[in-house]
């Protein structure tokens, strides 16, 4: 890991010193244990703050289009997939972008720790083991136990698009995605699913952290802010919240790269990903499409074939 960090810093230093980019977007150590925070290095002097480890959970592709000038970005698999979709949708200029690719073994889901040992006072990562001192006790975890749900099903830990690759690459299984999580929900009755999503949606406070953390939610004016027509009332209740989440998820259908940034950003622990994953599964099974796995190609809903399935039609 240390070698990667040094490599990232060297690369960032070189890019900034040579004037190839104006800013390097990466991570630095956050203010809380086991937290990394996005970091914008504007000069070679700042690059020594850059880090890379299992706490680098944000999807940095979110910042790329909003950051002026030429920029380099430290990209893990999901970040690069988001960049690929943004490029497909002409949101980025490839020449203004330098992608520092790193392979990712997954990020830590802090909620699992907090649920067991309370607020984290201190923590250290060593050799795939995470030792935590919490307010309600101490515990040592294996990284595998803490891996974020998104990362457990990740099929693209290696960047799909990069200008340089730092560190090793990760061997990936060639099997088709299983979508066990989606199937588990699908196997429930409609009533059970309705109850599940009612409960999830009643937690939402409409802070829009999910939307803003999402690298592919880049609309100038989001439909929730739109005044005429006014899609949503000011109400914050499970029906309105489901309208918001369903509207957003449908807008991301065929584009979502399943990075999990929305779910990790949610301060209320809403299972937003359950909606996105359903769309991802449908798009994969019906159209054999995965979003953002290469720079060319189009999002699934921008294309069609003449024999797309249409079992959804009325019987008449």
Partner 1 sequence: MGEIQVEAENKKYEPKIAAFLCNWCSYAGADLAGVGRVQYPATIRTIRVPCSGRINPLYVLKAMANGADGVLVSGCHPGDCHYISGNYVARRKFALIKSLLNHVGLEEDRISFSWVSAAEGIRFAEVVKGVTERVSALGPNNGIFKVVDDGGAAADE
Partner 2 sequence: MKISKEKFGQAFDALVADYKVIAPVSDGSGIAFTEVKSFSDVKQDYLNSKLPPKAFFFPQHEKLMSYKKEGKDVTVKSELKVENTILFGIRPCDAKGMLLLDKVFKNDQYTDPYYYERREKAVIIGLGCTKIAPTCFCSSFEISPAGSEGSDLFLIDLGDSYEVEVVTEKGKALADRLALAELTADEQALVDKIKSAETPSKIDVSNTTSKLDKMFNSPYWDTLQEKCLGCNVCSFSCPTCHCFDISEEVRKNEGTRVRTWDACMAPLFTLHGSGHNPRDNKKTRWRQRLMHKFNYFVHNNGSMSCVGCGRCIKSCPVNMDIRQVVDGANKAELVVE
Residues near partner 2 (CB under 8 A) are: 30-33, 35-40, 42, 58, 62-63, 67, 118-121, 135, 203, 205-209, 211-213, 221, 225, 230, 233-237, 264-265, 267-269
Q: How far is the CB of 286 from partner 1 (least distance, A)?
A: 6
In this structure, are strands 120-126 and 129-134 parallel, antiparallel, or unpaired?
Answer: antiparallel
Q: Of the two residues 10 and 225, which places its CB atom closer to partner 2 in the complex?
A: 225
Token representation of residue 224: 């929730």
Token representation of residue 58: 């944000």
Choose, by CB under 8 A, the member of 212, 233, 288, 294 that binds partner 1.
233
Q: Considering only the C-alpha atoms of the chain, give the largest distance between any 2 of them, rounded to a whole number of Å.
A: 69
Binding of residue 223 to partner 1 (CB under 8 A): yes
- How far apart are alpha carbons 7 and 5 in whole angstroms? 5
Contacts of residue 92, Cβ cutoff 8 Å, sequence gap at least 6 = 64, 65, 83, 86
Binding of residue 249 to partner 1 (CB under 8 A): yes
> Cβ(301)–Cβ(253) under 8 Å?
yes
Give the angle 106-135-143 at the CA atoms, nearest 5°. 20
Q: How far is the CB of 284 from partner 1 (least distance, A)?
A: 12
Binding of residue 312 to partner 1 (CB under 8 A): yes
221-226 — which CB contacts under 8 Å span 24+ positions?
Answer: 223/247, 223/251
Q: Residue 37 binds what, of partner 1, partner 2, none (CB under 5 to 8 Å, by partner type)?
A: partner 2
Instruction: Characterise 166 by phi-psi region: left (phi > 0), alpha (psi -120 to 50), beta (else).
Output: beta
Binding of residue 313 to partner 1 (CB under 8 A): yes
By rule CB under 8 A, what count of residues binds partner 1?
52
Q: Residue 107 binds what, of partner 1, partner 2, none (CB under 5 to 8 Å, by partner type)?
A: none
Q: Of the two residues 143 and 196, which places its CB atom closer to partner 1 in the complex?
A: 196
Binding of residue 301 to partner 1 (CB under 8 A): yes
Binding of residue 222 to partner 1 (CB under 8 A): no
> Cβ(64)–Cβ(50) under 8 Å?
no
Q: How far is the CB of 297 from partner 2 (least distance, A)?
A: 28
DSSP 8-state assignment for residue 272: T
Pick the closest to residue 276 from 153, 187, 162 (CA basis).
153
Binding of residue 298 to partner 1 (CB under 8 A): no
Residues interacting with partner 1, by CB under 8 A?
Answer: 185-186, 190-191, 193-198, 202, 223, 229, 231, 233-235, 237-240, 242-243, 246-247, 249-251, 253-254, 275, 278-279, 282-283, 286-287, 300-306, 308-310, 312-316
């Amino acid at each position: 890991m240390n070698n990667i960090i040094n490599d990232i810093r060297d690369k960032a230093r070189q890019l900034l010193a040579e004037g190839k980019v104006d800013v390097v977007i990466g991570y630095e150590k956050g203010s809380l244990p086991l937290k990394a925070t996005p970091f914008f290095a504007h000069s070679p002097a700042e690059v020594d703050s850059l880090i890379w480890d299992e706490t680098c959970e944000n999807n940095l592709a979110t910042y790329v289009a909003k950051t002026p000038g030429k920029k380099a970005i430290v990209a893990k698999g999901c970040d690069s997939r988001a960049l690929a979709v943004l490029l497909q949708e002409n949101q980025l200029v490839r020449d203004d972008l330098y992608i520092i690719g790193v392979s990712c073994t997954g990020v830590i889901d802090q909620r699992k720790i907090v649920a067991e040992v309370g607020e984290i006072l201190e923590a250290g990562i060593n050799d795939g083991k995470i030792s935590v001192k919490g307010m309600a006790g101490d515990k040592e975890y294996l990284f595998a136990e803490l891996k974020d749900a998104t990362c457990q099903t990740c099929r693209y830990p290696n960047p799909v698009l990069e200008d340089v690759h730092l560190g090793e690459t990760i061997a990936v299984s060639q099997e088709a995605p299983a979508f066990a999580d989606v199937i588990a929900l699908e196997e429930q009755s409609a009533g059970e699913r309705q109850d599940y999503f009612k409960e999830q949606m009643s937690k939402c406070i409409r802070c829009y952290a999910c939307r803003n953390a999402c690298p592919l939610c880049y609309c100038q004016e989001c439909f929730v802010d739109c005044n005429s027509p006014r899609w949503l009332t000011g109400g914050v209740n499970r029906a309105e919240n489901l309208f918001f989440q369903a509207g957003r998820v449908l807008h991301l259908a065929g584009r979502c790269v399943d990075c999990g940034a929305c779910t990790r950003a949610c301060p209320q622990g809403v299972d937003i990903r359950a909606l996105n994953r359903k769309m991802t599964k449908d798009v994969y099974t019906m159209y054999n499409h995965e979003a953002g796995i290469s720079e060319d190609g189009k999002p699934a809903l921008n294309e069609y074939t003449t024999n797309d399935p249409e079992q959804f039609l009325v019987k008449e």
